[in-house]
């Protein structure tokens, strides 16, 4: 039996649908949900729960600024974000990540909210957003709440959305003083790749080459994004040199808890994610 | 469910199950078999079409999502017997072998050139990186897109 | 295309393919593109478990579902229920045993896709699980579980051995001996078009099957006894394929489609495998484990070779033993080696099903041979190019199985061209420019590839060309065009002989009722064998046309006339008549010319190797530039050169298409492709987990064709559909070794494999 597919135009339409149909599947770009549905054989009887496509809700699309914060609404596609001048200027780390996500088609369809709510350990957008200290805003028909992205992601495939709530947008502070935005992803090929390991880094590097501030996050090497204040503290105030980075590497190894899968072993993930730290040396004389 | 959209320049209203995949709608109901399915999960790009001028994977879209949109498929690209410059470039540069990736590859190339009229070879490679081809090794496809860009700029 | 400006085909001049226009506009109709007003869908329930005794297939629940037309099991197969061109060991629908996870248990016919999918999900089966066998060497041990209890030699499908000169005892006379174990994995063809088809019983009760196959005539012969119908009652039609590369050689979907069509009450039935089913149930390149030993004299002369190979054919024989045999025939690559001892075992396991894949066993052995050569060169401090040049085969030499080469043998020319190429001459400078944490290496490899079938298998084609009433030329191609463009090249050949351009040609794709039997689309044979037959037919037709035209040019001799685009002209006079006009003078039976050609084959040493040796080979030398990221182990191919002895090239563009495409598949095989099977199950079951290259993973490739002529070839050409796939694995492995001193011995050479090898190297170098 066919599923109903609903295309609300406004958030109010969406709340009404929520009210009428408590059991439903939300999707934005469809690049995850429709792949999942494909592998599930259809039920021979009964009516499957409706699909709600969020792509037509204008209130969930676009990027705007408010009080020194940039809000990326959840259903903004990766391509739209990549093209946005504010994002390019202030958050190049995010632009870089998105240019490596999936493929051009996937970026035209997939949304940042979808990538976050899928909450894959390999979700590409998560590491830069962690380093940027992003918050997310969840909304329901009568309320909204803001929380750090870190608290929103509960584990693989699990986020802190309650019944009747959706992810409305991602808030990032516009003014930061990081002058180095770095991202690297290890995949099995250069495009259409799911990360074996990835690392995002933001650094405030002084003219003399001292790390004044640093934020680091690793993807695909733990159930959720791996961060460690111990490492960041250990590097802060130090010159950006090979020895300094090498000294911090054991701390990275300790912070990771990767698994084996079809793409790579846990051991490789751990060591390669650690090695990615050395890539920061390219900024030494930058 | 009745949906209305513009298909290859013509208004179309059709009655379909809303959860039918767009690729099935095109191939099975509208008899436009030029759009190919190679994986059904967004990994190969053979099913790429243009929706409001931008590439979409028709295997990951449901019919209901077409409402009010402008769709272009491979069948809508040439004007009568006159090939689109990208199609002509594919033919002349030997970018077609088995041809199964070709419709998706051509639609994607049109999309690339519409936003970047003079792409570098690396930009072309990135632009078609969501379209797998198993025959050509991509080189002649890159040649063709480069050629089409020059042809258009000429 | 370029109408108005009619340029006739010319041998050696690039001409766009005849099929490009219909493909680029989406008009070309592939097997998956058949739909009708009223038709059924068919699909298969597969075992999902690798080994067991099949007790019962439970279909009752599925049969009761709305929209289900029929659910068939082996009991509904009226014939032998067995296929397999050599051994006939594979069931159409499993009856007694499950031998691998992809075995088909039941065939469902339904009114729509939804009912089909639901019904397949409702089929269950009772079985007694059996311990499986998943490793070739384990499979040969005493007491190993047997994949086929009735196989005469247990899990050993075939043992092939060849010894020449003093065999392995010649190692005593060598100054340096190098050895290594090399492994290549199962490789999935990953054609974009998964198996598909459309079948029905026509008004005369003939079974018509439109499907994806490289072997229409052979299929018909296999389907008839398996399904219990007369071979004359089967018609196989093959549109252009959306890629095949060997993966559509032999029975896969054909019998299932046919069986379904016999149970629909005359309604056409459509089948189209999903990507996962295609991965599970199609054949793979046989995985191989090869122990190699090469003995060399101090001056670099190859003196002795030992090869011990195990090829995994999986659950069924298919063409597995011929794949291995062709590999063994090429175990010594393109070199003179006076003493060899080669032995290979082709082995049954419960892993998957092995089968042909572009390269056909040669890709596997070349990976090993070309690496031990570099190991020897390193030991002797001889340049890897120099050691290859001094041992390379020449016409008149004996190849590694002792067969004298009597045809064009261009490997020395390939190596000479490679040595003069900027990529070779500028390699040291390029290597020096590696950035921080990067290392660069350059590797080369040679290869040979036999053309056509082995000596005892008749390799023939029957060309057919028709001069239509409209004055056009219709070529009936009995050999499938799976994307390589062979049928376009037929038009090229005929066009060059008849002075015509693309616009007057029509190509009829294989149809057992309309085209003539011409063998499989495989073995780098399609243009060579059909082209040779076509030349004879076209000469005949040309003579007929000119003779007829004489009636329109009073007093002229046939020699005074010439064919020009669209017509016939007097060589001196201005008079031109159209082809259409001449065509009007033909009686129906005169319009068609046919010709038979049988490829030359070895007449001596037929017992040297299973099915006899080959005598015509193409050759190539490849070079790769590889950069290793020492932090991650990632290897990237930065540059690639292929120099090929293809004989005389007919259409440079079509030639480059084959070379570039083969290299790209070879790069995938070298760096990322790995159809992993663990205990009979795979996790690499789709294009997200089985990693083929994207446009960003393949560099721009350079391709050079050396000047050479194969005297027996149509216009001097040789088949080159396969050869280029065998270069990348050894060329890249040799480049990796050159870059950072590690030799992994198995592909894919993934980042993780390189990284681990680098770690090991580090650990060994550390002082204890």
In DSSP notation, C515-540 reads SPP---S-TT-HHHHHHHHHHHHHHH
Q: Do B133 and C21 lie within an 8 Å CB cutoff?
A: no
Percent of chain A with pLDDT over 70: 97
The count of CB pairs under 8 A between chains B and C is: 172
Helices C728-740, C652-671: axis angle to 10 degrees equals: 50
DSSP state of C717: B
Q: Is C673 on the interface with B (CB under 8 A)?
A: no
Of B43, B74, B128, which is closest to C26 when you measure between CB atoms? B74
Of A103, A191, A279, which is closest to C631 when you measure between CB atoms? A279
DSSP state of B138: S
Of A43, A189, A265, which is closest to C693 when you measure between CB atoms? A189
| CATH architecture of the domain covering A180-283 | 2-Layer Sandwich (3.30)
Euclidean distance between CA atoms C388 and C372, whole angstroms:
12
Euclidean distance between CA atoms A180 and A182, whole angstroms:
6
Nearest residue of B to residue A106 by CA position? B42
The rounded mean pLDDT for chain C is 97
Q: Which one of B23, B36, B94, B106 makes the best mutation probe of the C interface by having the most chain C beta carbons within 10 Å?
A: B94
Mark out chain B residues that contact chain A at CB-CB < 8 A: 1, 17-21, 40-43, 45, 48, 54-57, 59-65, 67, 108, 111-112, 126-132
pLDDT tens for each residue of C641-680: 999 999 999 999 999 999 999 999 999 999 999 999 999 9
Nearest residue of C to residue B142 by CA position? C695
Instruction: Find how far residue C333's CA is from the centre of its chain.
Output: 18
Cα angle A89, A90, A94 (rounded to 5 degrees) comes to: 95
Neighbours of C767 (CB within 10 A): 3
What are the counts of helices (DSSP H) followed by strands (DSSP E) for chain C?
19, 33
Percent of chain C with pLDDT over 90: 97
Q: Is A20 on the interface with B (CB under 8 A)?
A: no
**Portion 122-141 of C in contact with A at CB < 8 A:** 122
Q: Is C503 on the interface with B (CB under 8 A)?
A: no
pLDDT of residue B154: 53
Q: Do C65 and A44 lie within an 8 Å CB cutoff?
A: yes
The count of CB pairs under 8 A between chains A and C is: 66
Euclidean distance between CA atoms C209 and C237, whole angstroms:
6
pLDDT of residue A47: 72
Shortest Cα–Cα distance, B130 to chain A (Å): 5
pLDDT tens for each residue of C484-510: 999 999 999 999 999 999 999 999 999
pLDDT tens for each residue of C333-375: 999 999 999 999 999 999 999 999 999 999 999 999 999 999 9
Q: Do A271 and C631 lie within an 8 Å CB cutoff?
A: no
Q: Would the pLDDT of C3 be above 50?
A: no
Q: Do B40 and C193 lie within an 8 Å CB cutoff?
A: no
Helix/strand/coil for B141:
helix
Residues of chain C with Cβ-Cβ distance to A192 below 8 Å are 688, 694
Of B59, B112, B130, which is closest to A106 when you measure between CB atoms? B130
Shortest Cα–Cα distance, C90 to chain A (Å): 28
pLDDT of residue B80: 85
Average pLDDT in the C137-164 region? Answer: 98
Are A111 and A75 in contact, with CB atoms under 8 Å apart? yes
Are C682 and C275 in contact, with CB atoms under 8 Å apart? no
Q: What CATH number is given for A60-173 in this structure?
A: 3.30.465.10
Q: Would the pLDDT of A38 be above 70?
A: yes
Q: Do C695 and B125 lie within an 8 Å CB cutoff?
A: yes
Of C696, C697, C752, which is closest to A268 when you measure between CB atoms? C752
Instruction: Pick C716 or C572 by higher pLDDT.
Output: C716
Q: Tokens standing for C580?
A: 């259409």
Are C710 and C616 in contact, with CB atoms under 8 Å apart? yes
Of A3, A105, A192, which is closest to B48 when you measure between CB atoms? A105
Average pLDDT in the B69-80 region? Answer: 95
Which of A50-59, B23-32, C569-578 has the lowest average pLDDT? C569-578
DSSP string, C7-27: ----TTS----TTHHHHHTT-
Q: Tokens standing for C309?
A: 């190979």
Structural domains in chain B plus CATH codes: 2-76 (3.10.20.30), 85-153 (1.10.150.120)
Q: Do B38 and C482 lie within an 8 Å CB cutoff?
A: no
Structural domains in chain C plus CATH codes: 34-130+195-272 (3.90.1170.50), 284-454+605-765 (3.30.365.10), 460-598 (3.30.365.10)
Instruction: Pick C764 or C80 by higher pLDDT.
Output: C80
Q: Do B17 and A104 lie within an 8 Å CB cutoff?
A: no
Q: Do B54 and A108 lie within an 8 Å CB cutoff?
A: yes
Q: Would the pLDDT of C195 be above 90?
A: yes
pLDDT of residue A42: 61
Q: Is A77 on the interface with B (CB under 8 A)?
A: no
Residues of chain B with Cβ-Cβ distance to A31 below 8 Å are 42, 57, 60
Sheet-wide strand order for B2-7: B10-15, B2-7, B70-72, B48-51, B54-57
Average pLDDT in the B39-48 region? Answer: 97
- Best CA proximity match to C117, nearest among C38, C58, C44, C197: C44
Radius of gyration of chain C (CA): 27
Shortest Cα–Cα distance, A231 to chain C (Å): 19
Backbone angles phi, psi at C207, to 5 degrees: -85, 115
Of A2, A31, A104, which is closest to B18 when you measure between CB atoms? A2
Buried-exposed string C648-686: b where 16+ CB fall within 10 A, e elsewhere = bbbbebbbbbbbbbbbbbbbbbbbbbbbebeebebebbb
Q: Would the pLDDT of B7 be above 70?
A: yes
Q: Would the pLDDT of C5 be above 80?
A: no
Buried-exposed string A181-207: b where 16+ CB fall within 10 A, e elsewhere = bbbbbbbbbbbbbbbbbbbbbbbbbee
Euclidean distance between CA atoms A122 and A62, whole angstroms:
25
Burial bucket for residue C380 (CB in 10 Å: 0-12, 13-18, 19+):
middle
Shortest Cα–Cα distance, C442 to chain A (Å): 21
Read off the pLDDT band of C1 (50, 70, 90). Answer: very low
Q: Would the pLDDT of A25 be above 50?
A: yes
pLDDT of residue C574: 84
- Which residues pair with residue C577 across a beta bridge? C568
Euclidean distance between CA atoms A43 and A1, whole angstroms:
8
- Best CA proximity match to C661, nearest among A170, B102, B138: B138
**Portion 187-226 of C in contact with B at CB < 8 A:** 189-194
């Amino acid at each position: 039996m066919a599923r109903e597919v609903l295309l609300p135009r406004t958030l109010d339409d969406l709340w009404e649908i929520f009210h009428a149909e408590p059991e439903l599947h939300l999707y934005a770009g469809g690049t995850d949900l429709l792949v999942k549905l494909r592998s599930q054989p259809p039920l021979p009887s009964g009516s499957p729960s409706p699909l709600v496509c969020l792509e037509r809700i204008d209130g969930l699309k676009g990027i705007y600024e408010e009080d020194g914060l940039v809000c990326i609404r959840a259903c903004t596609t990766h391509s739209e974000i990549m093209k946005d001048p504010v994002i390019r200027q202030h958050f190049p780390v995010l632009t870089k990540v998105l240019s490596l996500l999936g493929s051009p088609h996937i970026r035209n369809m997939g949304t940042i909210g979808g990538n976050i709510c899928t909450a894959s350990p390999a979700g590409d957008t998560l590491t830069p957003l962690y380093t940027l200290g992003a918050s997310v805003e969840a909304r329901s028909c009568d309320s909204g709440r803001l929380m750090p992205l870190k608290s929103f992601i509960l584990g693989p495939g699990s986020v802190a959305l309650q019944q009747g709530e959706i992810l409305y947008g991602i808030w990032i502070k516009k003014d930061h003083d990081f002058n180095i935005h770095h991202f690297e992803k290890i995949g099995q090929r250069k495009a259409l790749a799911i990360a074996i390991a990835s690392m995002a880094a933001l650094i405030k590097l002084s003219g003399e080459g001292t790390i004044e501030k640093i934020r680091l996050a690793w993807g695909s090497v733990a159930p959720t994004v791996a961060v460690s204040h111990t490492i960041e503290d250990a590097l802060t105030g130090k010159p950006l040199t090979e020895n300094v980075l090498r000294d911090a590497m054991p701390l990275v190894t300790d912070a990771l808890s990767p698994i084996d899968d079809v793409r790579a072993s846990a051991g490789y993930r751990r060591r390669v994610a650690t090695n990615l730290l050395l890539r920061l040396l390219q900024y030494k004389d930058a | 469910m009745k949906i209305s959209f513009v298909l290859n320049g013509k208004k179309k209203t059709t009655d379909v199950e809303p959860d039918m995949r767009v690729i099935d709608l095109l191939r099975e109901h509208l008899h436009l078999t030029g759009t190919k399915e190679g994986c059904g999960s967004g990994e190969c790009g053979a099913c790429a079409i243009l929706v409001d001028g931008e590439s979409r994977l028709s295997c990951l879209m449901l019919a209901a999502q077409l409402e009010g949109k402008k769709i272009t498929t491979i069948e809508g690209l040439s004007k009568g017997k006159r090939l689109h410059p990208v199609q002509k470039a594919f033919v002349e540069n030997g970018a077609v072998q088995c041809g199964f990736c070709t419709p998706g590859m051509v639609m994607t190339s049109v999309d690339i050139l519409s936003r970047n009229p003079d792409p570098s070879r690396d930009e072309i490679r990135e632009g078609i990186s969501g379209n797998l081809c198993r025959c050509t090794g991509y080189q002649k496809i890159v040649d063709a897109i480069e050629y089409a860009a020059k042809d258009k700029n000429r | 295309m370029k109408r108005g400006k009619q340029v006739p085909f010319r041998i050696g001049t690039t001409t766009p393919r005849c099929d490009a226009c219909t493909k680029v506009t989406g008009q070309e109709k592939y097997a998956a593109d058949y739909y009708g007003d009223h038709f059924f869908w068919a699909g298969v329930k597969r075992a999902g478990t690798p080994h067991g005794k099949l007790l019962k297939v439970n279909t009752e629940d599925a049969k009761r579902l709305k929209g289900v037309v029929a659910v068939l099991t082996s009991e509904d197969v009226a014939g032998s229920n067995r296929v397999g061109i050599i051994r006939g060991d594979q069931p159409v629908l499993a009856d007694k045993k499950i031998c691998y996870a992809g075995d088909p248990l039941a065939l469902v016919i339904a009114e729509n896709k939804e009912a089909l999918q639901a019904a397949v999900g409702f089929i269950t089966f009772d079985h007694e699980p059996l311990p499986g066998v998943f490793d070739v060497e384990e499979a040969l041990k005493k007491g190993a579980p047997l994949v086929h209890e009735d196989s005469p030699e247990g899990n050993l499908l075939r043992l092939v051995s060849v010894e020449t000169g003093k065999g392995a005892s010649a190692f005593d006379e060598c100054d340096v001996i190098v050895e290594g174990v090399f492994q290549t994995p199962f490789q999935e063809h990953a054609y974009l078009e998964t198996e598909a088809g459309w079948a029905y019983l026509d008004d005369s009760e003939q079974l018509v099957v439109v499907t994806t196959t490289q072997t229409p005539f052979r299929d018909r012969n296999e389907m008839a006894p398996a399904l219990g119908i007369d071979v004359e009652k089967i018609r196989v039609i093959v549109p252009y394929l959306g890629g095949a590369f060997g993966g559509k050689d032999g029975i896969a979907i054909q019998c299932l489609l046919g069986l379904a069509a016999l149970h629909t009450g005359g309604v056409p039935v459509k089948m189209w495998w999903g990507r996962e089913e295609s991965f599970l149930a199609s054949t793979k390149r046989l995985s191989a484990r090869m122990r190699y030993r090469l003995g060399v004299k101090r001056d670099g002369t190859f003196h002795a070779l030992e090869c011990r190979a195990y090829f995994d054919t999986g659950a069924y024989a298919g063409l597995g033993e011929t794949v291995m045999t062709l590999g063994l025939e090429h175990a010594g690559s393109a070199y003179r080696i006076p003493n060899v001892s080669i032995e290979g075992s082709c082995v049954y396991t419960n892993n998957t099903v092995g089968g042909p894949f572009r390269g056909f066993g040669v890709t596997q052995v070349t990976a090993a041979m070309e690496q031990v050569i570099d190991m020897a060169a390193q030991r002797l401090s001889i340049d890897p190019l120099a050691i290859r040049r001094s041992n390379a085969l020449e016409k008149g030499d004996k190849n590694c199985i002792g067969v004298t080469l009597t045809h064009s043998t261009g490997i020395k020319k390939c190596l000479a061209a490679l040595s003069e190429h900027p990529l070779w001459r500028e390699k040291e400078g390029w290597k020096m420019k590696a950035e921080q944490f990067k290392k660069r290496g350059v590797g080369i490899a040679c290869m040979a590839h036999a053309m056509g079938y082995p000596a005892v298998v008749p390799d023939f084609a029957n060309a057919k060309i028709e001069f239509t009433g409209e004055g056009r030329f219709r070529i009936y191609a009995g050999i499938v065009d799976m994307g390589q463009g062979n049928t376009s090249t037929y038009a090229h050949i005929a066009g060059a002989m008849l002075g015509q351009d693309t616009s007057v040609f029509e190509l009829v794709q294989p149809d057992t009722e309309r085209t003539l039997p011409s063998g499989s689309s495989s073995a780098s044979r399609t243009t060579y064998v059909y082209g040779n037959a076509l030349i004879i037919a076209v000469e005949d037709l040309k003579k007929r046309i000119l003779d007829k035209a004489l009636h329109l040019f009073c007093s002229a001799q046939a020699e005074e006339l010439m064919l020009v685009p669209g017509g016939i002209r007097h060589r001196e006079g201005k008079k031109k008549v159209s082809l259409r006009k001449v065509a009007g003078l033909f009686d129906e039976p005169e319009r068609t010319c046919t010709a038979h050609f049988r490829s030359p084959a070895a007449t001596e040493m037929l017992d040297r190797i299973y099915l006899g040796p080959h005598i015509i080979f193409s050759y190539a030398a490849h070079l790769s530039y590889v950069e290793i990221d020492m932090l991650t182990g990632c290897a990237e191919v930065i540059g690639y050169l292929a120099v090929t002895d293809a004989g005389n090239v007919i259409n440079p563009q079509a030639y480059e298409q084959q070379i570039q495409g083969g290299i790209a598949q070879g790069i995938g095989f070298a760096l990322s492709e790995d159809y992993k099977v663990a205990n009979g199950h795979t996790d690499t079951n789709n294009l997200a987990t089985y990693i083929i290259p994207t446009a960003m993973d393949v560099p721009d490739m350079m391709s050079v064709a050396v000047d050479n002529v194969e005297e027996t070839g149509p216009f001097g050409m040789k088949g080159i559909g396969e050869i280029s796939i065998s270069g990348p694995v050894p060329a890249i492995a040799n480049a990796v070794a050159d870059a950072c001193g590690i030799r992994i011995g198995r592909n894919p050479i993934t980042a993780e494999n390189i990284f681990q090898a680098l770690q090991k190297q580090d650990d060994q170098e550390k002082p204890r």
